[in-house]
Amino acid sequence: MSEHDDFAAELRALADEAIPVEHVPGTPALALVKRRVRRRTARVALLSAACMALVALAAVALPRVGIATVAPASSTRLAPGIEIPTDPTTSARTGGGLVIDTRMPGWTAGTRLFVVSRLSAQDRAVNAVYEGDDADLRELRAGNAAGTMLLSSDATAASATSPDGDRQVVIGLGVPPEASAGGPPGRNERRLISWDLFPAADGTLVSSVVLPGSLMKDAAGLPLDVISLSKVDGEIPAFGGFFTINAYRNGYGQDGCLGDCPAIFGYETPTSFPNDGPRGVAQAQRLTVESAIEDAAAAADLAGESRPTPREVCVDVREDLDRATGTERTADDRLLQCLLSATDWYAHQAELASSDRSG
Q: Which one, of 139, 162, 166, 137, lies nearest residue 151 by Cα?
A: 162
| 155 three-state secondary structure | coil
Q: Distance between CA 137 and CA 340 in Å, rounded?
A: 37
Q: Distance between CA 253 and CA 188 in Å, rounded?
A: 11
What confidence score (pLDDT) does residue 51 get?
A: 34
Q: Distance between CA 76 and CA 100 in Å, rounded?
A: 17
Q: Which one, of 345, 356, 318, lies nearest residue 334 by Cα?
A: 318
- β-pair partners for 241: 193, 257
Q: Distance between CA 11 and CA 59 in Å, rounded?
A: 12
Q: Distance between CA 147 and CA 100 in Å, rounded?
A: 14
Q: Distance between CA 89 and CA 29 in Å, rounded?
A: 10
Q: What H or E segment, with its residue span, contains residue 225?
A: strand 223-230
What confidence score (pLDDT) does residue 278 get?
A: 56
- CA 159 from chain center: how many Å? 9
| 85 three-state secondary structure | coil
DSSP notation for 308-329: PPHHHHHHHHHHHHHHHHT---
Q: Which one, of 117, 118, 106, 205, lies nearest residue 160 by Cα?
A: 106
What confidence score (pLDDT) does residue 260 get?
A: 64
What confidence score (pLDDT) does residue 254 get?
A: 80
Q: Radius of gyration of the chain from Cα atoms?
A: 24
pTM given for the model:
0.71
Per-residue pLDDT 10s for the chain (359 aa) are 554 454 444 444 444 444 343 333 444 433 433 444 444 444 434 333 333 332 332 323 223 334 444 456 678 999 999 999 999 999 999 999 999 999 999 999 999 999 999 998 888 899 999 999 999 999 999 999 999 999 999 988 999 999 999 999 999 988 654 454 454 555 678 899 999 899 999 989 999 999 998 899 999 999 999 999 999 888 898 898 898 887 776 777 788 888 766 544 433 333 333 334 456 678 888 888 988 999 999 999 999 999 999 999 999 999 999 999 899 999 989 988 998 888 888 887 887 787 777 76
Q: Distance between CA 90 and CA 218 in Å, rounded?
A: 10
Q: Distance between CA 254 and CA 199 in Å, rounded?
A: 23
Q: Distance between CA 246 and CA 238 in Å, rounded?
A: 23
Say which residues have a Cβ less than 8 Å from residue 234's Cβ, sequence separation at least 6: 277
What confidence score (pLDDT) does residue 187 get?
A: 63
Q: Which one, of 202, 215, 188, lies nearest residue 85 by Cα?
A: 215
What confidence score (pLDDT) does residue 132 get?
A: 96
β-pairing, 239-245 with 223-230? unpaired
Q: Distance between CA 109 and CA 122 in Å, rounded?
A: 37
What confidence score (pLDDT) does residue 343 get?
A: 85
With contact defined as beta carbons under 8 Å apart, do 12 and 44 qualify?
yes
